[in-house]
Every structure is written in structure tokens, then in C-alpha cells.
Structure 1
Amino acid sequence: MAPKTLSIKGQPTRLMENTILKTDTASVVTRQQMIADLARHRVVYVGESHTNPSHHAIQLEVIRALAQNTSNLVIGMEMFDHTYQAVLDRWVAGELDETAFLQQTHWYANWRFNFGLYRDILEYAKEKGIRIIALNVPFHIPPRIRVGGIASLSEADRRHLPAVINTTDAGHRAYLQEIFNLHAFRGRDTFDFFYEAQCTWEDAMAEAVADHPGPGTMVVLAGNGHIIRKFGIPNRAFARVNAPFKTVYLASVGDEAELSWADYLWVTPDQRMPHGRMMGGVKKKK
């Protein structure tokens, strides 16, 4: 049986696992070449399919390599909302063990994916004293927007919203419309509310990236859907702070990708585990 490969739309070449494609030239590069390029930028986005262990191993590999090549590295994580920043700071300072950390971040009430997928990244940040920045809004807010729109939020919830929420990107809107059309929503059948929720999510994380650029490099860990074609977090953060950035999309073999998705496509094993949650807590139709 032939090994699985990644196909690139409009390109004849099929890529094997562990291949890295630089998309502006459609050329294969080494890890070292990619890291050297990433290290020249203020923000580096590394995507993920949340339940794919190989994606988290690659994220840690990029963090380790950049930590050796750049000073003042920080890590931004979608997995935490900003109200937990003090807990993250205590974790990095070595003041919390894993049990206390899981309890105080309410990990399984908020993010819910297996903590083991992220343990090595968080342990490395603690070991090296690398600050972790919480990027997200409180997790109850996007579902409320999806049901009733931003106008339905209480004043208490509105205090967590970003200063600017951009709902005018036609490409981003079309991308989310396609996702919306593929899924069941059970009482959340208004696309405009769904799109408001997604833009709130993107702009909140973009604002957090812009607010914490620091003098070195920030590695942002977020789902592939938040970095694809750069119209989620990356372009919105750049509009706020003009910090040069690069994106790395982790694409599993057996799939098809497009050169427009990111600056780099890194081909990974297909190790995705079944899970009821996906982008925005949406479940596929049966």
C-alpha cells in the first residue's frame, strides 16, 4: 500500500510526511531554513488540529528552535482566556503543580481537550521561564453571540470584547459561510450571529497578540482555522501593531491543501482523534 501524501491544489507534486513547503516559491525547505526565516519575524503562528498529537509535538519543536535563536520569546495560546493570565504567570513561575493548574484554569470546563496533548509545551515554558499569554475571550461569550448576536450581551460580557470587531472581510466571511452551511446548529441558525461570534473570537485574540508583542518573538498556538489565509488572527493583529509575521499551517497526509493557506505548509501524520468539539463548538451533521 502506497503511503499517504498531501496533495496541493493546482500542483502536481504530492508531499510526504515531514515535508515543509514554502508556499511563495512552492519549494521544499529544511526545518533549519524555515526556522531561520521565522526567527526574523515578531510573530509566528503555528496552527493545529486540536486532537492531533503530532501537531503539538511540532509546535514544541518550533518553540524550542526559536528559543535557541531569539531572545525574549513568549507564547500566545488560544487555549486560555485572558481572565486566567495570573494563573499562567504562577505556572511559569513554578508556583503550581499540574493538578492545581488544571483546577485553577478550569481546563476541562473551558478547553476540554486532553491536557496530555499540551503538557509538554506547558512544561517546557515552565522549565525555561517563557511567559505564556492567554489570548482568548471567556469561553461562554462566543456561544452567547452565536445565539443572540453581540447586541444581546450583558454589560459584564461586553467588557471582555475587543475594541474593534471587523466583520467586513469578504474572504473570511465566505470561508465561515461554507463552514456554517456544513453543520447543524440547533437554535443557532442565524449566520450573521455566527459570523459576529467568529469575528469577536478572531479580533479578541488579535488584540491580545498586538498588546503583548514584546521585544522578541511571540509564537502563537491556535487552531488552523484561525490562521488559514491569514484573515483570522494574523491580519487582524497586523492591522493593530504592524509587527512582521509568518504562518505555519500543519496539514495532515490524506488531505488537500492550498498554497494560499499559509507561508509554510508542514506535512504531518494523520493522527486526529475523534472528538465532538471543533471550531466554535460546532458538531457535524449526522
Structure 2
Amino acid sequence: MRPCHILLTALFIPLLLSPTTAAAHPHLLATASGTEISYQQLLTELSAVQVVFIGELHDHAGHHRMQYEIIRSLEQQQQPLAIGLEMIQIDDQPTLDAWVAGNLEETDLVAMFNRNWSMWPLYRDIFVLARERRIPLLALNISRDIIRQVAKNGFASLPPTRLEGLEGVTCTVDPAYEQFIRRALGEHGHNPTSFRYFCEAQLLWDTAMAKHLNDFLTRQPDYRVVVLAGSGHSWKYGIPHQLTKLAPRTFRVLLPEVPGRIDRTRASVADTDFLWLDVGPQSWTLSPSQRPQAGEQKSSAAAAE
């Protein structure tokens, strides 16, 4: 993202995250029926499940606007709420706990966040809301070094010591998962071996995040969790599928419309339960520089978040 874009984003985030404008967005598609639903109808559906997956393009302010509004709405209900974060590695869970408890300065939180991720201004309001409302924040990710190693050399290259805490995790990529990666991430892979390693890295990523999410829900069965993750991870065949292999959790998936990957003409209930559409005066239309092209290549697993 260019420096001027970052500055403008920081200036306009408070406006973009206005609950009124987010709730007023009129274009929410239920894939099961193929019809548009209201924001209140969406909330009714999300209120009936234990896990809500909300996909994002990480640098898209409108996607974080919707995440904020849904979190704010669900937090007002009786069931306790937590927020699961792809952005943060599990080793930094104590820092998240200290932030929510009010025992950490924002500068220290930002330092940790920037070690893990980037684009803090886009996420700030969600973290502030969590602190104000004492909503637990859950680190879901594993070391980027592990993901990079698998993407480069395959899952078999990992020694057992690198999988501490993930004992029993396997990484078998079948043709269905390969097809999912091609569609969800625009990754086609001209080299069969490199593409298989790329798929293994994504599968390990999804599986590890599902395990950390399931561990929390096992400890705290009364909670509902809103999971914020990249669009590709949030498709039903990503983290949600891996979660259902661990436990019979109820969930719903809400994805943004992303031209070239998933849109109103292609999305089905096998991909997502709900799709929010980039149309109309309240739209979150992508700029040409943000719009992914069908079949665009990714240089590494980290680029395909």
C-alpha cells in the first residue's frame, strides 16, 4: 500500500467504521436462497451458531467496517463473545490478554501487532472495542517460519520439534483441496511440486487455526467466537472444514464479494452462507489496484492470506 494511501486510510477509519453506515448496507446475499436479506436477518442467523467466520481482504477498509459492526452487534447479546484472529501468532496470547484486561499501553500492543502483521489503523477500532467491552482476543496463528518452510520444502521437511503443540496434525492434500486453492486464492501453480507444497502450507495453516479455535471452545463452551481471517481461509473448505473434523461445532460463514474469485454469479452454499456485495451507494467497491485478477500468481504462502 502506498504511503499516501496509508495516511488517508488512517484519517478516514473512524468514518468507515461507523456502525450506522455498516448496518445500513443493503446488499447481503443468502446463498441458500439466492436472495438478499437485511442486516437484522443476518444477525438472527449468526446468533444461532457458536462460530462466525468473517472473511476479509486485509487492506480493504470496508471489510473491517462490517467485521466491527457484527462484533458490536453480537456483543450486545447475552451469550459471551470472543474474537479469533488470524493476524496474531499463538505465542503472543499473553499480550492480547493484557490488552483486554487494561494492563497494556497501546504502543506496546501495536509493537506486538506489527511484529505479526501490518496495517494497524485498519484493525485498531476492533481492538479498542475488545478492550472497552472486555471481549477476549484469541491468537490463532502459528509461526510464519513454519508456513514458509512448508511452502518451500513441503510438510515432510518439518522435524517433530517444529510441530510442538500440533501433535497429530497431518497434511494430506487431495484433489478437492487443490481445486479449492485454485479458486479461492487464484493460485494455479505451473510447477506441480511447488503447487503441492503451497497447498500443504495453506492446509497446515487452516488446520492449526482450527485446532487453536477448538481448544478455546473446549475450555469455554459457553462462548461464541467471531473469527477474522483472510477470505481464502474463511471459505467453508478452509478453517471451517478443519474445525468440523475436530468437533461438531455450529458455524456460519460470511465472505466479501471478490471479483475473479467469488461473486454473486458463482457463490454457493458450499462456499459460504452469506456474501456481501460491492454494489450501490453504500458499496465497498475495490479500487483497480486492490482488485485481484483471476488466476493471479502468489509468490509464497504468506502472500495468499
The two structures have a TM-score, normalised by structure 1, of 0.82
* Aligned residue identity for 1:114: M
Question: Whole-Å Cα distance in 1 between the matches of residues 122 and 272 of structure 2?
Answer: 23
Question: What residue number does 1:7 align with?
Answer: none
* Aligned residue identity for 2:164: R
Q: For 1:69, what is the secondary structure of its paired residue?
A: coil
Pairwise CA distance, 1:126: 0.5
State the identity %. Answer: 32
Question: What residue number does 2:175 align with?
Answer: 170
Q: For 2:49, what is the secondary structure of its paired residue?
A: coil
Gap runs ≥5 in structure 1: 1-16
Question: What residue number does 1:225 align with?
Answer: 232
The two structures have a TM-score, normalised by structure 2, of 0.77
Question: What residue number does 1:12 align with?
Answer: none
2:301 aligns with one of 269, 280, 285: 280
Question: What residue number does 1:208 align with?
Answer: 212
Report how many residues are paired: 260
Question: What residue number does 1:240 align with?
Answer: 246
Pairwise CA distance, 1:168: 4.5
Q: Does 1:156 align with 2:171?
A: no
Question: What residue number does 1:124 align with?
Answer: 129
5 Å matches for 1:172-191? Answer: 172-177=177-182, 179-181=186-188, 190-191=194-195
Question: What residue number does 2:120 align with?
Answer: 115
Q: Does 1:195 align with 2:199?
A: yes
2:63 aligns with one of 37, 40, 55: 55
Question: What residue number does 1:265 align with?
Answer: 275
1:249 aligns with one of 244, 255, 269: 255
Q: For 1:207, what is the secondary structure of its paired residue?
A: helix
CA contact (8 A) 1:142 1:201 kept: yes
Question: Whole-Å Cα distance in 2 between the matches of residues 182 and 53 of structure 1?
Answer: 30
Q: For 2:29, what is the secondary structure of its paired residue?
A: strand
Question: Whole-Å Cα distance in 2 between the matches of residues 162 and 109 of structure 1?
Answer: 26
* Aligned residue identity for 1:282: A
Question: What residue number does 2:101 align with?
Answer: 93
The structure with the greater share of residues assigned to helix is 2
Pairwise CA distance, 1:173: 1.6
| Alpha-carbon spacing, 1:244–1:32, altered in 2? closer, same or farther (3 Å) | same
| Alpha-carbon spacing, 1:35–1:95, altered in 2? closer, same or farther (3 Å) | same
Pairwise CA distance, 1:171: 2.4
Question: What residue number does 1:45 align with?
Answer: 53
Question: Whole-Å Cα distance in 2 between the matches of residues 256 and 92 of structure 1?
Answer: 36
